[in-house]
Structure 1
């Protein structure tokens, strides 16, 4: 759960800052980007419905891991954008859901993996991209990452609220 909290708070901080410069990005759209930051982890649906069960039902090889890629995240953002009413809202939702998902993938890049390589090759599937060495800054279970995300989000929250009061 600390990992999801980190992704959501990073998206909050990032897109709240974007809202300072892009007029149409208000708190509603920041929330959409925060939802987008969870999209790549929908690959964990395999905890409820295994790859093998889907393979059995479909009769073809299947893996949920494709959702934790750039292409899978963009596909999910497109599906999510269809839930919005107007074409303008769908475009904005797609941009912000995709942006939130990309922020998730970027935050995951410097993680420490057993083989010492980033997931860069996996993210770009099916485009062949080499797996680069990871700086190995943290593992997903590290709590300090969530603490840093909370601190950054809190600073952005305070700055955002103080900026609102000075505008009035």
Structure 2
């Protein structure tokens, strides 16, 4: 849960800082970016539903692992953009930006074999070497991200006064 919260807080901080320059990036769009940061972790549905069950429902071969990739988040951002009543293109871009922040942060974490996941699929199956900056289960990660987000939140509140 700490990792999921960290991704949402990173998206909030990045979108809030971007909103200082972009007038159209209101709190509504910041919230949508935060939702976008959740999209790659929808692959966790595989903990509850087997791929074979999803294959029988959709009628095509299906793997939830592809959700945590570039292709997966582009597809989910497109689906999510259709839910928004207006400004579908902007919603797509903001959802995708939140999801990309998630994928980029995950590209820096430590993996046992020293290579990140194939998150660039369908562009390439290559697994780049990761700098092993952090372990996702380390509570210090949430503390650092939380502190940074708190500073951004405080600056955002005081800059309008």
TM-score of the pair, normalised by structure 1:
0.90
Residue 101 (str. 1) matches residue 99 (str. 2): yes
Q: Show the counterpart of 2:112.
A: 114
Q: Show the counterpart of 1:155.
A: 151
Which one has the largest radius of gyration?
A: 1
Please state how far the C-alpha of 1:53 moved relative to its aligned partner. Answer: 2.2
Q: Is the 8 Å Cα contact of residues 70 and 122 (structure 2) preserved in structure 1?
A: no
Q: Show the counterpart of 1:37.
A: 37
Please state how far the C-alpha of 1:59 moved relative to its aligned partner. Answer: 6.1
Q: Which runs of 5+ in 2 are unaligned?
A: none
String of CA shifts for 1:62-121, please: whole Å, max 9, x gaps. 2101110011101101111111122xx2111111100000000000001111111122xx
Q: Secondary structure at the match of 2:130?
A: coil
Q: Is the 8 Å Cα contact of residues 111 and 132 (structure 2) preserved in structure 1?
A: yes
Structure 2: how far apart are the matches of 1:55 and 1:84? 28
| 1:60-79 correspondence runs (5 A) | 60-79=60-79
Structure 1: how far apart are the matches of 2:122 and 2:88? 26
| 1:7-86 correspondence runs (5 A) | 7-57=7-57, 60-86=60-86
Q: Is the 8 Å Cα contact of residues 116 and 130 (structure 2) preserved in structure 1?
A: yes
Q: Which runs of 5+ in 1 are unaligned?
A: none
Q: 1:27 to 1:60 in 2, by over 3 A?
A: closer
Which stretch of structure 1 is more off in the superposition, 43-52 or 26-35?
43-52
Root-mean-square deviation over aligned CA pairs: 1.4
Q: 1:82 to 1:55 in 2, by over 3 A?
A: closer
Q: Secondary structure at the match of 1:42?
A: helix
TM-score of the pair, normalised by structure 2:
0.94
